[in-house]
Amino acid sequence: MISGLIEACRAAIAAHADHLCELDSAIGDGDHGTNMRRGCEAVSADGHALADLPLPDALERIGMLLVMNIGGAAGPLYGTLLIELGRQLRTGGDAAAFAPVLERAIDAVARRGRAKAGDKTLLDVLYPVHAALAGRSALTEIAERAEHSAHDTAPMRAMRGRAAYLGDRSIGHVDPGASSCALLTTAICRYLGEYRPA
């Protein structure tokens, strides 16, 4: 399953990398799509080794690869998310009750970025995705929530990252990190919805 998830994420980012760069050009330095594509390709290239690992170890290893290969601001944040998911699952978190595990991992991302909900970052997708999951929404609803939440970053004023330097001029643009997070959420939900164990 993990190989399929990795491929679904890689393909989604590859298909939208140019758009993510355009979003980042408006309120950042234009590299978010390139950064995310590089990170996803590094994870894909490691796919065989990852498929042999227990889930917590695989998630942590993916996190390290994301830190090293996405770079920029987003690398350590996506990396923290995956590393914490792995750690939480190893230390007693229950994959069947995933919402609390995800919540703790998102909180680690917030601490790492010193950011909170409403700061116009990828957290503005992660928190609503967690809320939908905790409310036992269907996969299609979780994906829709992610997409809407990414769009809802447009009227926000960026408080963290490069976009924060723009102040009010960041208003009116969708946050690139929120957009990549929605793309990944949708890819994961779609894959899980179609997944049938062999």
d(CA 9, CA 70): 14
Two structure tokens written together for 151: 């769009």
Q: Which stretch binds Mg ion (CB under 5 A): 30-38, 101-109, 111-119, 180-188?
A: 30-38
Are 80 and 68 contacting, i.e. CB atoms less than 8 angstroms apart?
Answer: no
**CB closer to ligand ADP, 70 vs 101:** 70
Binding mask 89-128 for ligand ADP (x = CB under 6 A): ------------------------xxx-----xxx-----
d(CA 163, CA 135): 32
- Kindly state whether residue 176 participates in binding ligand ADP, applying the rule CB under 6 A: yes
Are 17 and 59 contacting, i.e. CB atoms less than 8 angstroms apart?
Answer: no
- Kindly state whether residue 160 participates in binding ligand ADP, applying the rule CB under 6 A: yes
> Nearest approach, Cβ of 51 to Mg ion (angstroms)?
31
**CB closer to Mg ion, 28 vs 39:** 28
Q: Who's near 128: CB < 8 A, 6+ residues apart? A: 145, 146, 148, 149
Number of amino acids touching ligand ADP (CB under 6 A) = 23
- Kindly state whether residue 82 participates in binding ligand ADP, applying the rule CB under 6 A: no
Binding mask 23-62 for ligand ADP (x = CB under 6 A): -x---xx-xx--x---------------------------
d(CA 182, CA 150): 6
Q: Who's near 6: CB < 8 A, 6+ residues apart? A: 40, 43, 44, 47, 50, 62
State the residues that interact with ligand ADP by CB under 6 A.
24, 28-29, 31-32, 35, 72-74, 77, 113-115, 121-123, 160-162, 175-178
